[in-house]
Amino acid sequence: MPLYRPPSEGNNLIIQATLGCSANYCTFCSMYKTKTYRARPLDQVLADIDQAAHEWPTASRIFLADGDALTLSMDNLRAILNKLHETFPGLTRVSAYATPKNLIDKTVDELRELKTMKLSLVYMGIESGSTQVLKRVIKGASHKTHGMALDNANAAGLKVSATVILGLAGRAGWEDHIASTAQLINNHPPTYLSTLQLTLDEGAIDEFMAEQEAGFEFQDDDAILLEQEQLLKLLNPPKPVIFRSNHASNCLPLAGNLPRDRDKLLDIITAAKEQIHLRRSPFIRGL
């Protein structure tokens, strides 16, 4: 522990294939700071799968934890996915978090092979399409490498659920943050796109601020709604993208398909800009 999983994996079986995150340097993220990354010994993972099957033989959707199980070698992933396949006759989907690096380090053929073994969905934190913003939060990725990672996943037929963090560039940098992010999504569309609001653990604030330019100011909810509005205005993906802002951090939950529902979502934002009672209060946002 701690163990994290995406909200949409809440009803699914979780198998811990790795511990921690192989990157673990992003300044805004405290999820795995108490863990040193390591791959769990394969025999232990396979034993966990046997035990899980005993408890829940009909499990059909399985999430491989922790932070980026896709970093495992192909041999390890093959062994784990084969075991899941043999053990759960009703298996329909395996998913995992993935860093952009994970999706670039593996070839499209390797990703395609994983897909044939039912690893069909990866969750990737884009955070921003702006290389400058990504540098300041030590993401270890750029606009270009994000695009390469999304292209590899798309070419292999993997679904990508991507997240973007509103507020990440602060008051001075938000326009470049949003414009670059929209450009990235328009050129390399994922299957799902979610926005989160920047929320730092108290212990992470100093590390985050140490990399920012002097005078960095955090965005308030009014400014976040402006970012959300501008992002939706600029998004025009060539294929439908399922959009959500239902993460606990968001002041305004939204859901729709882009570009089809853009005007409807913009109307909801306009109303929430004018009427504060339409927004979620901070005390129910898990902040």
Here's the x/- map for ligand SF4, 24-63, by CB under 6 A: it reads as x-x--x-xx-------------------------------
**Own/partner pairs, 72-75, CB within 8 angstroms, 24+ separation:** 72/17, 72/18, 72/39, 74/106, 74/110, 74/113
Q: In what helix (H) or strand (E) does residue 18 lie, and over which residues does it extend?
A: strand 18-19
Count CA atoms within 13 Å of residue 1 on its CB side.
0
Least distance to ligand SF4, CB of residue 28, Å: 7
Q: Output 125 or 170, the one with its CB closest to ligand SF4.
A: 125
Least distance to ligand SF4, CB of residue 276, Å: 30
CA distance 265 to 247: 16
Least distance to ligand SF4, CB of residue 222, Å: 26
- Quick check: 25 and 62 in contact, CB under 8 A? no
Least distance to ligand SF4, CB of residue 68, Å: 6
Count CA atoms within 13 Å of residue 170 on its CB side.
18
Least distance to ligand SF4, CB of residue 37, Å: 9
CA distance 17 to 46: 9
Least distance to ligand SF4, CB of residue 185, Å: 18
Strand partners, 165: 196
Count CA atoms within 13 Å of residue 17 on its CB side.
30
Q: Output 24 or 183, the one with its CB closest to ligand SF4.
A: 24
Q: Is 99 in the site for ligand SF4 (CB under 6 A)?
A: yes
By CB under 6 A, which span of 6-14, 16-24, 57-65, 224-232 interacts with ligand SF4? 16-24
Here's the x/- map for ligand SF4, 108-147, by CB under 6 A: it reads as -----------------x----------------------
Structure tokens at 132: 């400058």
Structure tokens at 103: 């999706």
Least distance to ligand SF4, CB of residue 29, Å: 3
Write the CA distances from 10 to 13, 14, 21, 63, 193, integer angstroms: 8, 9, 20, 10, 18
Cβ burial of 33 (10 Å; 0-12, 13-18, 19+) is: middle
Q: Looking only at residues 67 through 96 of this chain, which bind ligand SF4 when binding is defined by CB under 6 A?
A: 67
Q: Output 31 or 42, the one with its CB closest to ligand SF4.
A: 31
Residues lying near ligand SF4 in the complex (CB under 6 A) are found at 21, 23-24, 26, 29, 31-32, 67, 99, 125
